[in-house]
């Protein structure tokens, strides 16, 4: 703004110097009138610019104020919704920096705001966080078979209002990211949603993406996904908006030639799109399979089973001994005498147990309080290098606790030892995990398939004999633990723990225990793991001479 006034003052100074005798000639008066008209046009343009900037600031303030009020009202459930988290991250990455540029330092209030922005912007989410938020939304879309409109309209989670959660600019951003990643099917879906929202007049129209740009992305994505007829239609619409777009003109000719050269093929694809593709029945899951047959299950089959189990679809289960699917009170240990320990067997072949109320609310709160300052991005074991590293298929943060971090850890571990009847002397530390936006862990084994070349082998305590997975929150939607090779899906209550053996009695890995943490659709997921190793448990769980037992 200061620069604008300098320009105006310079012009005014020029007027004083050059029009000292305006009254002596009409031509001079007309000349000055022309200058004044030019000045007032410049001044009006400057005022319009300031008013536009003020409107931008007001609209942004209204949006953020509404979000903050809603967050205060809903508490942690507000940010546990993936769209709300995405919108907050997007504001910090795209909009707050823009506000910083818009606001100038002509007043004390503005100077204070800029000073605060300068102090806090080091802690703003960055482009990497925004990319992660978009990836999370796409992951939820894939796993739970959601449409872009489900996110735009907030059709899941704690959102109950009538207002749209995402506007055209947001859906375009997700579509554009998908385009850069060569995910053309997702690009097509999100660009169509962008056009729908624009046609409905959702959000601030001044912030809409350029319609021609949306059509350009959409048409190419349709072409790449073999919807050539739609690609031609949207390219023609693009040409109407921008008749001089030579590339679009060439594209529509090319699309037409491709369509005419293989018309029957594209018509068949069009018919298939309208038909709902039947899901695989996966009858193999209903049989008792040999370990060898589970060692190399096709990735696409596993992925399909994993997603359908996460969605809660009914799939065949490995043969169950229904007489053993029961509940009982465990009282064989002094810790379970006064307060009996409830146990439920939810699956056989292999046995999967749920220990009820193994952690109290106060213990959970204490563990979370200890853990929060210590959380770091979770890592996985790379089988090629034997090293631990971060990976996109595991999105969470974790930390390792021991009894030195508080008596509460010792109390919980004592209960685990009592109920599993296993020795914890060689067990790993108490691992606490907090899943992030759409946090998940793709199908994996807890045991090492190559112990000598792994971080587990370096511990010198054998393989992971058993897993105890403790749930420290009740997830609003999603977040189940699934076992894709046997059709099992468990979603314990807060304070419960899931227990299973990772190894057969022969010491070989039990491939039936391959499991996954489904993405958190809505809510907050805190869990803890206790991995119990072989050494020290040779007599508590004796070996078998049969390799398949």
Q: Let me know whether 508 and 388 are in one domain.
A: yes
The residue among 108, 123, 138 that closes a domain is 123
Closest among 189, 251, 190 to 223, alpha carbons compared: 251
Q: Let me know whether 404 and 523 are in one domain.
A: yes
Q: Let me know whether 116 and 161 are in one domain.
A: no
Tell whether 6 is covered by a domain.
Answer: no
More confident residue, 394 or 466: 466
The predicted model gives 392-421 an average pLDDT of: 89
Q: Let me know whether 223 and 137 are in one domain.
A: yes
**Residue 494 has which token pair?**
């807060």
**Residue 139 has which token pair?**
């992951």
Tell whether 276 is covered by a domain.
Answer: no
Burial letters for 219-239: b for 16+ Cβ neighbours within 10 Å, e otherwise?
bbbbbbbbbbbbbbbbbebbb
pLDDT at 504: 93
Please report, for the domain that includes residue 400, its CATH number: 2.60.120.620
* Contact call for residues 104 and 1 (beta carbons, < 8 A): yes
State how far the Cα of 438 lies from the Cα of 136, in Å rounded to an integer.
5
pLDDT at 509: 93
Tell whether 445 is covered by a domain.
Answer: yes
The residue among 57, 91, 123 that closes a domain is 123
Q: Let me know whether 117 and 131 are in one domain.
A: no
pLDDT at 389: 63
State how far the Cα of 157 lies from the Cα of 515, in Å rounded to an integer.
25
pLDDT at 391: 61
pTM of the model: 0.80
Overall domain count for the chain: 3
Q: Let me know whether 109 and 245 are in one domain.
A: no
State how far the Cα of 342 lies from the Cα of 419, in Å rounded to an integer.
10
pLDDT in tens, 430-449: 999 988 788 888 999 999 99
Split at pLDDT 50, 70, 90, the class of 344 is very high
Determine the structural domain holding residue 507 and report its residue range.
Answer: 325-533
* Contact call for residues 437 and 86 (beta carbons, < 8 A): yes
Q: Let me know whether 354 and 471 are in one domain.
A: yes
DSSP string covering 387-420, please? -EE-BTTB-EEEEEE-GGG-HHHHHHHHHHHHHH
Split at pLDDT 50, 70, 90, the class of 178 is very high
The predicted model gives 112-126 an average pLDDT of: 76
Q: Let me know whether 258 and 363 are in one domain.
A: no
> How many Å separate Cα 167 from the centre of its chain?
18
Closest among 424, 487, 427, 542 to 282, alpha carbons compared: 487
- Which residue in this structure is represented by tokens 């093929």? 265
Q: Let me know whether 360 and 507 are in one domain.
A: yes
Q: Let me know whether 32 and 143 are in one domain.
A: no
Tell whether 365 is covered by a domain.
Answer: yes
The predicted model gives 110-118 an average pLDDT of: 71
Tell whether 84 is covered by a domain.
Answer: yes
**Residue 242 has which token pair?**
């921008």
Q: Let me know whether 337 and 385 are in one domain.
A: yes
* Contact call for residues 46 and 5 (beta carbons, < 8 A): no
* Contact call for residues 489 and 399 (beta carbons, < 8 A): no
Is the omega angle on the peptide bond into residue 350 within 30 degrees of 0, that is, cis?
yes
pLDDT at 35: 58
């Amino acid at each position: 703004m200061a620069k604008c006034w300098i320009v105006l003052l310079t012009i005014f100074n020029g007027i004083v110097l050059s029009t000292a005798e305006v009254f002596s000639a009409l031509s001079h008066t007309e000349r000055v009138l022309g200058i004044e008209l030019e000045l007032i046009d410049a001044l009006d343009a400057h005022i319009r610019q300031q008013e536009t900037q003020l409107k931008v600031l007001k609209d942004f303030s209204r949006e953020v104020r509404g979000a903050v009020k809603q967050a205060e009202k809903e508490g942690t459930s507000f940010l546990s919704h993936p769209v709300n988290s995405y919108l907050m991250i997007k504001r910090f990455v795209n909009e707050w920096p823009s506000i910083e540029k818009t606001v100038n330092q002509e007043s004390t209030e503005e100077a204070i705001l800029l000073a605060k922005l300068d102090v806090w912007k080091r802690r703003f989410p960055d482009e990497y966080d925004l990319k992660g938020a978009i990836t999370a939304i796409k992951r939820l879309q894939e796993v739970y078979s959601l449409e872009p409109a489900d996110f735009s309209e907030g059709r899941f989670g704690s959102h109950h209002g009538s207002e749209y959660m995402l506007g055209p600019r947001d859906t375009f951003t997700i579509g554009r990211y998908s385009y850069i990643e060569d995910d053309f099917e997702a690009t097509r879906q999100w660009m169509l949603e962008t056009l729908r929202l624009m046609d409905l007049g959702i959000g601030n129209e001044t912030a809409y993406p350029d319609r021609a740009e949306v059509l350009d992305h959409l048409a190419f994505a349709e072409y790449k996904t073999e919807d050539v007829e739609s690609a031609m239609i949207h390219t023609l619409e693009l040409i109407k908006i921008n008749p001089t777009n030579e590339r679009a003109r060439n594209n529509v000719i090319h699309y037409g030639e491709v369509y005419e050269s293989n018309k029957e093929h594209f018509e068949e694809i069009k018919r298939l799109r309208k038909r709902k593709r039947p899901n695989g029945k996966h009858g193999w899951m209903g049989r008792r399979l040999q370990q060898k047959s589970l060692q190399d299950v096709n990735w696409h089959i596993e992925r399909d089973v994993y997603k359908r189990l996460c969605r809660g679809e009914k799939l065949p289960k490995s043969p169950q001994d229904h007489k053993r699917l029961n509940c009982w009170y465990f009282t064989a240990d002094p810790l379970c005498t006064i307060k009996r320990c409830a146990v439920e067997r939810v699956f056989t072949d292999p046995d999967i147990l749920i220990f009820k109320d193994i952690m109290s609310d106060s213990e959970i709160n204490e563990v979370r309080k200890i853990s929060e300052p210590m959380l770091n991005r979770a890592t996985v074991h790379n089988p090629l290098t034997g090293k631990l590293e971060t990976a996109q298929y595991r999105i969470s943060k974790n930390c390792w606790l021991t009894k030195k971090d508080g008596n509460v850890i010792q109390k919980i571990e004592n209960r685990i030892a009592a109920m599993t009847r296993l020795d914890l002397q060689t067990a790993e530390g108490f691992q606490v995990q907090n899943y992030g936006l759409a946090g998940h862990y793709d199908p994996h084994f807890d045991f090492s398939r190559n112990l000598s070349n792994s971080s587990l082998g370096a511990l010198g305590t054998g393989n992971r004999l058993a897993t105890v997975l403790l749930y420290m929150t009740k997830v609003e939607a999603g977040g189940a633990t699934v076992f894709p090779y046997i059709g099992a899906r468990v979603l314990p209550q807060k304070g419960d723990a899931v227990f299973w053996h990772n190894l057969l009695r022969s010491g070989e890995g039990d491939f039936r225990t391959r499991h996954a943490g489904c993405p958190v659709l809505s809510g907050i997921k805190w869990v803890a793991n206790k991995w119990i190793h072989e050494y020290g448990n040779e007599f508590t769980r004796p070996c078998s001479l049969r390799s398949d037992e």
